[in-house]
Amino acid sequence: MKVLMLHPGMGFRHSRVFPPLGAMGIARYLAENGCEVRVADLTAAPIDDAVTRLLDAEVPDIVGLTVLIGDVAKRALEASQVIRRISPRTRIAWGGPLVSTDPAWAASLPCVDAAFRGDGERQLLDWLRDGAPRRLSVSEAVQEPRVEQAFAGLHDLQRQYILPAKWSPELRIDSVFVASSRGCPGQCPFCYLRTHSPGRIRTSPEAVLVDQLTRVAEWLSVRGFYFLDDAFTGDRARTRAFCEELIRRDCNFRWFCDTRIEDLVPDALPLLWMAGARSFYIGVESGSERIRRLLKKTMPICALKDRLSLILRMGFSAKLSIVVGWPEEDRTDMDQSLELADTFPEAQLDVYRFCPLPGTPLGEQILRAMSTADRANVRFWNWESLPRNFSNAPDEHVDMVQNALIARKNERLRRAIGEIRQAAGPQSRMR
Q: 193-219, pLDDT tens digit by residue? A: 766 665 567 777 888 889 989 988 888
pTM: 0.87
Among the residue ranges 55-59, 192-196, 325-329, 385-389, the one predicted with the least confidence is 192-196
Given a cut of 70, whether residue 431 has pLDDT beyond it is no
pLDDT of 160 strictly over 60: no
pLDDT at 322: 97
Alpha-carbon separation of residue 233 from 172, 180, 211, 240, 380 (angstroms) = 22, 11, 19, 9, 31
Residue 388's pLDDT band (boundaries 50, 70, 90)?
A: confident
Sign of torsion over alpha carbons 241, 224, 221, 177? positive
Cα separations in angstroms, 176 against 14, 54, 173: 14, 27, 10
Please, what sign has the CA dihedral across residues 150, 153, 155, 157? negative
Rounded-to-integer distance, Cα 258 and Cα 350, Å: 12
Looking at residue 135, its pLDDT comes to 56
Distance CA(347)–CA(251), nearest Å, equals 27
Where does residue 305 rank: exposed (0-12), middle (13-18), buried (19+ CB within 10 A)?
A: middle
Q: What is d(CA 287, CA 334) in angstroms, rounded to the nearest whole number?
A: 7
List the single range of 28-37, 42-51, 215-224, 239-248 with lowest mean pLDDT. 215-224
Mean local confidence (pLDDT), 157-175: 56
Average pLDDT of the residues of the chain: 85
Q: What is the pLDDT of residue 204?
A: 78
Q: Across-strand partners of 182?
A: 202
**pLDDT band for position 138 (cuts 50, 70, 90):** low
Name the band, by pLDDT with cuts 50, 70 and 90, for residue 229: confident
Q: How far apart are the first and last CA of the chain?
A: 48
Amino acid 275: pLDDT: 97
In the prediction, which pLDDT does 141 show?
A: 44
Whole-angstrom distance, CA of residue 322 vs CA of residue 287: 8
Which pLDDT value is given to residue 74? 93
Can you tell me the mean pLDDT for 344-372?
Answer: 90
Contact (Cβ atoms closer than 8 angstroms) between residue 94 and residue 68:
no
Alpha carbon distance 254, 430 (integer Å)? 8
Q: Is the pLDDT of residue 274 over 90?
A: yes
Structural domains in the chain, CATH included, are 2-138 (3.40.50.2300), 147-421 (3.80.30.20)
Lowest mean pLDDT among 180-194, 195-209, 340-354, 384-398: 195-209
pLDDT of residue 319: 95
pLDDT band for position 144 (50/70/90)? low
Q: For the segment 64-98, what is each residue's pLDDT rounded down to a tens digit?
A: 999 988 889 999 999 999 999 999 999 999 998 88
